[in-house]
A = this chain, B = another copy of it.
Amino acid sequence: MTGTIDRRALDAGHTLVTPLTTTGASTALHTDAYEITMLRAALADGTAAHRATFEVFARRLPAGRRYGVVAGLGRLTEALQEFRFTAGQIAMLRAIGVADDATAAYLAEFAFTGNIDAYREGELYFPYSPVLTVSGTFGECVLLETLVLSILNADSAIATAAARMVTAAAGRPLIEMGSRRTHEEAAVAAARAAYLVGFTATSNLQAGLRHGVPVTGTSGHAFVLAHADERAGFAGQVAALGTGTTLLVDTYDTGAGIRTAIDVAGTDLGAIRIDSGDPAIEAARARTLLDSLDARGTRITVTGDLDEHRIAALADAPVDAFGVGTRLVTGAGAPTAEMIYKLVAIADAPGADAPLRPVAKRSVGKASIGGIKRASRELDDAGHAARERVVATPDLIGRTRPGRLLQVSVVRHGTVLHSPTPEEVRAHHRRAKTELLPRDLDLSPGTPRLTGAPAGRTP
């Protein structure tokens, strides 16, 4: 269905691609209308100028998940820098009756000047972990709700699913190839999120250009079908891409396809790909056949409806790389992280000196915990995560707390301070994951061992 690993392109991708290219387009209308109408009402009654803090958290992880992975922070800080309202956008907001004169004037000058603290990208999170905290005036913080949640919910869902696949693959390469099964821009973000938690490469070219993800791909069934026969297709591919390429051998008959592949490419053929049938059976047969043809160095890539469970089931199969598509880009059953953005503190007067008071709603089944929070992960003597320590405080001036501090300063007075490279995110994720116990990494349905809800205060 899609391409497979090509070490040359992959290595090249690591070094030659410009990372983190933004589109330069305004991101300000990735916003729900009610953020603007709330701003309008808050400007009219003065609340817009009161200091406020909003917190992003998830009340629960997707059913059966034992941990979540934060992703999207890098995309968010880029999008934040393009969060400016253009004249055309403001005219539209006036035309449809959402913005009045005062709101239009505010939006024309708008740039976020507050602070953002957050769990690092690649960090693990649990129910009620205060994943991201936005502080500033009520007016500027409320405007960011939709964009913040869209990015974190989409990217964290993919990263969480991908991390389980990485565990299942147990060190073997994973290639993201799901672009065709999701929105064209969501596909780029998914490729990035999967890479950050340990995927090897993606099929998506835009993810290569924009985010520096290694890109790979060789050939599909259409190429074989476009030729008079399979032999002619293989010959054309090998002539153009070399014997190091990956030949897709299951268009007609996999056994015959493998014999033809080695006959055409020789025993130095880089890899074969199998996209149909039972992968355990097909891979075992293919390995035996390749070895009997003396193509002992030819690798086997399998693709087609793989998820973490199917990958885990191939633990003993002679598979050298996995291509994952649909199940990765749809979050393996959990396409959104369901994080929410809640006001947790507000001042009752304008100005920097007015004290913040904690607030929380009491809606049935949807209550929240007020107050600005500090989070750390306490480790036991073996270095394993023992507790998610989340302390509500009326003030962000911190005291020393036990464990690993989870929040970093991402934005201060509107300026982005924290922009780790993809490699740094990957390294942090690997480190955080080593703090988990085997039972946290178990792929079967379970409940999270840790929680960010203060003891006895789960709403």
Q: Is A237 an interface residue (CB 8 A)?
A: yes
Among B221, B239, B277, which residue has its beta carbon within 8 angstroms of that of A41?
Answer: B239
Contacts of A184 in B (CB 8 A): 27, 30, 79, 146-147, 150-151, 154, 185
Residues in A350-387 with C-beta less than 8 Å from chain B: 359-366
Stretch from A91-99, A124-132, A394-402, A442-450 at the B interface: A91-99
Residue ID in chain B nearest A26 by CB atoms: B206
Stretch from A173-181, A313-321, A417-425, A430-438 at the B interface: A173-181
- Kindly state the separation between the CA atoms of A133 and B314 in the bound complex, as whole angstroms: 37
* Residues A365 and B42 in contact, CB atoms below 8 Å apart: no
Contacts of A43 in B (CB 8 A): 240
Q: Is A89 an interface residue (CB 8 A)?
A: yes
Q: A180-B32, A203-B32 are in contact. Are A226 and B277 (CB under 8 A)?
A: no
> Beyond the given A3-B34, A33-B217, A185-B185, could you list 6 further A-B residue pairs with CB under 8 A, ordered by the A residue number?
A17-B92, A23-B25, A45-B239, A153-B181, A182-B335, A222-B342
1/0 per residue A205-223: CB within 8 Å of B?
Answer: 1101100000111111111
- Kindly state the separation between the CA atoms of A177 and B340 in the bound complex, as whole angstroms: 14
1/0 per residue A178-207: CB within 8 Å of B?
Answer: 011111111111000000000000011110
Contacts from A to B (Cβ < 8 Å): 1-3, 6, 8-9, 12-13, 16-18, 23, 25, 27, 29-38, 40-45, 47, 50, 52, 54, 79, 88-89, 92-93, 95-98, 100, 138, 142, 145-147, 149-151, 153-155, 177, 179-189, 203-206, 208-209, 215-228, 232, 235-237, 239-241, 250-254, 275-277, 304, 326, 329-331, 335-336, 338, 340-343, 346, 348, 359-366
Among B3, B145, B182, B189, which residue has its beta carbon within 8 angstroms of that of A33?
Answer: B3
* Residues A206 and B29 in contact, CB atoms below 8 Å apart: yes
Q: A47-B236, A226-B343 are in contact. Are A219 and B181 (CB under 8 A)?
A: no
* Residues A187 and B221 in contact, CB atoms below 8 Å apart: no
* Residues B9 and A215 in contact, CB atoms below 8 Å apart: no
A107 → chain B, closest Cβ, in Å? 11
- Kindly state the separation between the CA atoms of A13 and B335 in the bound complex, as whole angstroms: 30
* Residues A236 and B45 in contact, CB atoms below 8 Å apart: yes
A–B complex contacts, Cβ < 8 Å, 26 sampled: A25-B25, A29-B205, A30-B187, A32-B179, A33-B216, A34-B218, A35-B217, A38-B222, A40-B241, A41-B240, A45-B227, A96-B208, A147-B184, A150-B179, A150-B187, A151-B183, A153-B182, A154-B182, A154-B184, A226-B359, A276-B366, A277-B363, A277-B364, A326-B336, A330-B336, A335-B335
